[in-house]
């Protein structure tokens, strides 16, 4: 499942929210309809109250919506963009070659360390360029 994302979430320490959206209507006592961005048009726009958080506004806070591209299964598959760094991880059992990977739709701060052999199997063209 490496690289498969739901609403821009990935990994153990993934972001908790996908954005700020206006409430359009209330459905029953426990669900709300939201005005989602056009990029999320295929996502059902009704959410349970447990999935929503209150936003406390600040005058200096400028909001910018991220564009998340979803496929037919409502998932976002990230692809390897570039290899940033190589590292050798030493343990008692031996050494492991790691690469720092920059994924599509992410910043350099969100780059992850992956096993070099696994990355060579899935993305051989990027290792030919290095």
CA atoms of 69 and 40, how far apart (whole Å): 8
Are 74 and 86 part of one and the same domain? Answer: no
Are 1 and 49 part of one and the same domain? Answer: yes
Are 73 and 14 part of one and the same domain? Answer: yes
- 54 C-beta neighbours (distance < 10 Å), count: 4
Among 5, 33, 31, which Cα is nearest to 18's? 5
Are 74 and 106 part of one and the same domain? Answer: no
pLDDT for the residue 52: 77
CATH of the domain at 105: 2.40.50.40
Prediction pTM value: 0.44
Instruction: Give the domain extent around 111.
Output: 79-129
Read off the pLDDT band of 17 (50, 70, 90): low
Are 53 and 102 part of one and the same domain? Answer: no
Percent of all residues in the chain with a pLDDT value above 70, rounded to a whole number: 78
């Amino acid at each position: 499942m490496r690289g498969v994302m739901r609403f821009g979430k990935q990994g153990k320490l993934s972001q908790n929210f996908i954005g700020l959206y206006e409430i359009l209507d209330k459905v029953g006592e426990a669900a709300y309809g939201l005005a989602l961005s056009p990029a999320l048009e295929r996502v059902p726009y009704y959410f349970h109250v447990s999935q929503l958080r209150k936003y406390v506004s600040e005058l200096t806070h400028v909001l910018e919506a991220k564009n998340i591209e979803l496929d037919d299964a409502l998932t976002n598959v990230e692809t390897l963009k570039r290899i940033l760094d190589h590292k050798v991880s030493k343990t008692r059992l031996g050494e492991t070659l790691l690469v720092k990977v920059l994924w599509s739709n992410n910043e350099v701060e969100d780059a992850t360390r992956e096993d070099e052999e696994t990355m060579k199997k899935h993305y051989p063209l990027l290792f030919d360029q290095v």
